[in-house]
Structure 1
Amino acid sequence: MIAADRALIERFLEMLTAEAGAAANTVAAYRSDLALASAAIEGGLAAASIAQLQTLAEGWQSLARATVARKSAALRRFYAFLLDEGHRSDDPGKALPRPGTARSLPKVLSHADVDRLFAVIADRCATARPLPGDLRLSALTELLYGSGLRATELVSLPRNAIHPDRPFLILKGKGGRERLVPISDRARAAVAAWRAHVAADRPWLFPSGKGHLTRIRLYQLIKALAADAGIPPDRMSPHVLRHAFATHLLEGGADLRALQTMLGHADIATTEIYTHVDASRLVELVNTRHPLADAGRVDVTPRRP
């Protein structure tokens, strides 16, 4: 990467962090993508022509569509920055591909699956003196499923983030965006039981060593819980419990905009992926609640022309 490219890329990334509030992982990915592109274009990325970018994009054909989409997005935003800052008079980024990303449907847990998970936890905590590890697992699972927290948000909660008399917390998530997160009575009770085992001078609610519980360890704990509940571990992760939170709320009639706020999604299109689980419920609503329901049930079977 030539010096001119390096300086402009760093200025672009600084802008991305300060003005757009980009997450650290996004900034790191963009830095890598731009550095690789700069190295591939011998004439320098900042001065690249449309033809050079088209040649660069041709080399992406073997990559996953999501990877191509990210690389294209990084370069398009970089060239838009150069145009805005007066470093270029044109925007060659328009020549880059826009493959989009195919959103895979989230793994879904049934209500029965969730009941089995909590039955295992309840059984462990029903003893006269529950093990601290079981109380911790109870608090972790209640917050994942009951509040839809991301794994990183969960493990890095301060010790006193959750108050016994306050059914919510204000959380700073991706991109520094703040959101209000609901905390159920069950989750607050589970947290209180666990916090009694956390020394008052520890800064984290889920401490481990000199820091807090890692995402990897959380992942392992949730996998082990799934196995004990008779659920295949490959179907379970902290993120799957977050998906279950969203899916089951939507099934219960939650408003999509409210769900977007609780999940901390910047774009409602991200939240809309959960509507796939509601198709059967919507058909049933039409068949049972619509004023014309008595005239005949809705037939969703495809007809031949």
Structure 2
Amino acid sequence: MGADDAPIDRFLEMLSAQAGAARNTIAAYRSDLMLASEVLGGALATADAGALARLGDGWASLSRATVARKAAALRRFYAFLAEEGLRPDDPGKALPKPGTRRALPKTLTHADIDRLFAVTAERVGREATLPADLRNAALLELLYGSGLRASELVSLPRNAIHPDRPFLILAGKGGKERLVPISDRARAAVAVWRGHVAVDRAHLFPSGKGHISRVRLFQIIRALGAEAGIPPDRISPHVLRHAFATHLLEGGADLRALQSMLGHADIATTEIYTHVDRARLVALVNERHPLVDVTKPRP
């Protein structure tokens, strides 16, 4: 047993008991700490600022996100050691702070969306319509028309959406409830599809003894995208959720309302997730700001 094993175990026990960290989080912390310990010859817990600076230099070839994650794990570890009196100082400041830039998420154009719905409409309009085509039409309408997460969509109960109720009360991340609007088109598509779902099935999109998986949903959307001429790297259930948000915001939706619909705890997430074309924002200010008339030259 190495010298670092005991302090690392103690730190991870704290994360689990006090911070309520998930099992995967604990495993990730353990991996990062043990790898760093190996590089430092088993002297991670006693490393000084110079050793940590050299450790950080060894991460030069890694991505910014990976460096940020490793550094964050080690900083939290050293803060714990200092708080517990297991060492007199906290050398965590010597670790790199690359920061992470959130990449703008992919989206689809209005023309892409039109082609997607044209594909499903053509399939549903055939003389011998397949039940799978009705299901896929309902999935597409709900993804783009309501911005549901993939996990939320595939697990919907059979009777979650009512023909005469234009909204859905959904328990999202963290068990928080939110109101999700359901368009007339989506409700109509769901009503048609539900007629093909046995009344004793628990889910709206059943498969086997449960519901279709997120992987299967991903495959369905990719296949529809391929028919519509959309490259596979540009489309997914999450991209459709983003397109829902982006197109609503472009159409003048209120950002706070959009935050509520998407189930984001922090509006900063919504601002990044629903990136609006900067040129459109500039034009909006130039056209709608109350000082525009004041600044215009008088004739």
1:270-285 equivalence runs, <5 A: 270-274=269-273, 276-285=275-284
Secondary structure at the residue paired with 1:180?
Answer: strand
Does the C-alpha gap of structure 1 residues 275 and 151 become closer, same or farther in structure 2, counting only changes over 3 Å?
closer
Instruction: Indicate if the aligned counterparts of 1:146 and 1:245 stay in contact, CA closer than 8 A.
Output: yes
Aligned-residue offset at 1:295: 6.7
1:212-223 equivalence runs, <5 A: 212-223=211-222
Distance, in Å, in 1 between the alignment partners of 2:86 and 2:201 is 49
- 1:301 maps to none
Percent identity for Structure 1 against Structure 2: 65
Instruction: Note the residue ranges of structure 1 that are not aligned, 5 or more in a row.
Output: 298-305
Secondary structure at the residue paired with 1:168?
Answer: strand
- 1:10 maps to 12
Instruction: Indicate if the aligned counterparts of 2:245 and 2:274 stay in contact, CA closer than 8 A.
Output: no
| Paired residue type of 1:251 | E
- 1:192 maps to 191
Instruction: Indicate if the aligned counterparts of 1:179 and 1:262 stay in contact, CA closer than 8 A.
Output: no
Secondary structure at the residue paired with 1:277?
Answer: coil
Does the C-alpha gap of structure 1 residues 16 and 135 become closer, same or farther in structure 2, counting only changes over 3 Å?
farther
Q: Please, what is the CA RMSD of the aligned residues?
A: 3.1
1:58-77 equivalence runs, <5 A: 58-77=57-76
- 1:302 maps to none
1:7-86 equivalence runs, <5 A: 7-15=9-17, 18=20, 26=25, 28-84=27-83
Matched, 1:251 2:250: yes
- 2:116 maps to 117
Deviation per CA, 1:160-213: give whole Å up to 9, x if none: 44444360222232xx25241413133333333333333344444333334432
Deviation per CA, 1:14-66: give whole Å up to 9, x if none: 15762xxx676655543432332343333354444333332322221100111
Distance, in Å, in 1 between the alignment partners of 2:37 and 2:152 is 34
Matched, 1:169 2:150: no
| Paired residue type of 1:167 | F
Aligned-residue offset at 1:151: 2.4
Does the C-alpha gap of structure 1 residues 129 and 68 become closer, same or farther in structure 2, counting only changes over 3 Å?
same
Distance, in Å, in 2 between the alignment partners of 1:155 and 1:178 is 18
Deviation per CA, 1:51-100: give whole Å up to 9, x if none: 33323222211001111112222222333444455555543323221111
Distance, in Å, in 2 between the alignment partners of 1:16 and 1:128 is 61
Instruction: Indicate if the aligned counterparts of 2:108 and 2:243 stay in contact, CA closer than 8 A.
Output: yes
| Paired residue type of 1:170 | L
1:221-240 equivalence runs, <5 A: 221-240=220-239
Distance, in Å, in 2 between the alignment partners of 1:43 and 1:118 is 58
Instruction: Indicate if the aligned counterparts of 2:160 and 2:168 stay in contact, CA closer than 8 A.
Output: no
> TM-score if structure 1 supplies the norm length?
0.80
Q: How many residues in Structure 1 have an aligned counterpart in Structure 2?
A: 292
Deviation per CA, 1:237-263: give whole Å up to 9, x if none: 112111111111211222323323333
Distance, in Å, in 2 between the alignment partners of 1:196 and 1:85 is 62
Larger Rg: 1 or 2? 2
Matched, 1:178 2:176: yes
| Paired residue type of 2:283 | E
Distance, in Å, in 2 between the alignment partners of 1:59 and 1:276 is 35
Instruction: Indicate if the aligned counterparts of 1:124 and 1:134 stay in contact, CA closer than 8 A.
Output: yes
